[in-house]
């Protein structure tokens, strides 16, 4: 279906409910994993995903179509995830790093985490990156978004996104073996 027609259905009172159900079907899983990589656990991702779709539903009539529907929803999901992390920081922690450390420590205990030791090491190295680099890396590596799309989401130039991404990749390549070595020594 043409995106313009789909958006028209989403904003039409007559077709809105059916179109929104289709929107959920199309995007729920992709947005879940996008959010999950940011907030860490299944329970938190579910909460943020629900808030994301509530915000999408309430904001559909204001969607200006300056970007694709996909990009617009990813931006909302990203912003909701960051809001969630900020709330967690205010409630329980002194910094976003403390929030990230907490989520990383709970990752292996999460019944929905099916990663192996390499995934855990990658998560540990990702925690060493700046928030911006981490989010850009996750959107490119896990969500397979194009640099242009990430730039639209974060309202940054494509070249800046590429610079952050490739710096993150260099950092990961340099440090992933260090984390593995440290874990081996501790064992």
Domain spans of the chain, in order of start: 1-114, 115-187
Q: Give the pLDDT score at 167.
A: 93
What are the respective helix, strand and coil percentages of the chain, to the nearest 5? 80, 0, 20
- Looking at the structure, give the CATH architecture of the domain made up of residues 1-114: Orthogonal Bundle (1.10)
Half-sphere exposure of 39 (CA within 13 A, CB side): 27
Question: How long a stretch of residues is the chain?
Answer: 187
Q: Give the pLDDT score at 159.
A: 95
pTM above 0.85, yes or no: no
Write b or e for each residue in 76-113: b if 16 or more Cβ atoms lie within 10 A of its Cβ, otherwise e.
bbbebbbebbeebbeeeeeeeeebbebbeeebeebeeb
Q: Give the pLDDT score at 24.
A: 93
Distance of CA 38 to the CA centre of its chain: 5
Q: Among residues 15, 48, 4, 38, which one has the least CA distance to residue 135? A: 38
- Measure the N-to-C terminal CA separation of the chain; round to a whole number of Å: 54
Q: Which residues of the chain have pLDDT under 50?
A: 113-114
User: Could you confirm whether domain 115-187 is CATH 1.10.10.10?
Assistant: yes
Q: Give the pLDDT score at 98.
A: 59
């Amino acid at each position: 279906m043409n995106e313009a027609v789909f958006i028209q259905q989403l904003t039409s009172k007559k077709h809105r409910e059916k179109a929104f159900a289709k929107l959920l079907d199309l995007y729920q899983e992709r947005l879940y994993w996008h959010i999950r990589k940011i907030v860490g656990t299944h329970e938190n991702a579910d909460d943020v995903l629900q808030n994301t779709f509530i915000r999408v539903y309430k904001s559909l009539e204001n969607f200006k179509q300056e970007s694709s529907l996909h990009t617009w929803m990813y931006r909302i999901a990203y912003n909701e995830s960051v809001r969630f992390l900020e709330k967690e920081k205010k409630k329980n922690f002194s910094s976003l790093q403390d929030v990230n450390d907490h989520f990383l420590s709970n990752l292996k205990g999460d019944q929905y985490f099916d990663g192996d030791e390499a995934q855990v090491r990658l998560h540990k190295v990702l925690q060493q990156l700046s928030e911006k680099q981490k989010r850009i890396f996750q959107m490119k590596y896990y969500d397979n978004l194009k640099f242009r799309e990430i730039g639209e989401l974060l309202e940054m130039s494509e070249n800046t996104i590429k610079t952050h991404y490739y710096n993150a990749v260099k950092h990961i390549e340099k440090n992933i073996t260090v984390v593995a070595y440290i874990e081996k020594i501790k064992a």
